[in-house]
Amino acid sequence: GFGVGLPHVVSFRNVRKSTGQDGTMWLGQWNSLLRRSPSDGPLPSEAASLARSRYGRVPLQHRPHLWMCQTGARSLMLSSASSYDEMARLVEGSGKGLLDPATVKQIDSDLPRTFPQHSGFSTDSGLRQALRRVLITYSAYNVSVGYCQSLNFIAAVFLLVADEEGAFWLLVALCRSVVADYHTREMSGLRIDTTAFTSLVAAALPTLHARFCELEVPIE
């Protein structure tokens, strides 16, 4: 995993010690809740309020299920004419037929720069190879985008939580609906949101906005 400094280790241990029994009860609530939720069905309504409880997070072991359901990734996976494994094998076996050489070159250039401090991505095996397969398969799946820088970090985070197939469909769902039009060549969704954010900063924090302008630091 990621290396952490001693102060963070101490803080983590202190939090675990302070939560103790309450943390066990909280995990039990999640276990009970998700036992009533089929793997391909909607989440119970109590899931949202439980995620906003004093712990402010979802237990690691339940994140794959919740993320797949909440993003729509599970629905995309179940409705797809081809499974991820079938698409990945097709892409790997096609040579250069289905792939843009420039896209593959960019993906291969970004792999060593993706979380190099994490043991799973620091060598040319394990998670790094899974990340390469996810990104290359996605580039063939969504030819209108192919590959966009930063997708490597997003897919890598998904691989830390879900299996390879889940990470692929989470990436598809994220780019299709969660942050639609962010990771495209025009980045229209991102441009719209950053323009709106800049307007909000100017209205709510005019002094800060003026300072950014003075320093010629664009927020957009």
Q: Which domains are delineated in the chain? A: 6-58 (no CATH), 78-178 (1.10.8.270), 186-220 (no CATH)
pLDDT the model gives residue 95: 63
- pLDDT (0 to 100) of residue 54: 62
pLDDT for residue 15: 62
pLDDT at position 166: 96
pLDDT of residue 66: 85
Give residue 56's pLDDT: 62
Distance CA 165, CA 123 (A): 21
* pLDDT for 19: 58
64: amino acid identity, one letter? P
**Angle (deg, nearest 10), helices 188-204 and 206-214:** 120
For residues 170 and 68, the answer to whether their CB atoms sit within 8 Å is yes
Quote the pTM value: 0.80
Name the residue with tokens 């692929």: 168
Helix, strand and coil content of the chain, in percent to the nearest 5, comes to 65, 0, 35
Which residues of the chain are modeled with pLDDT < 70?
Answer: 1-4, 12, 15-23, 38-42, 54-56, 95-97
Q: What is the pLDDT of residue 111?
A: 95
Measured CA to CA, the distance from residue 62 to residue 35 in angstroms comes to 11
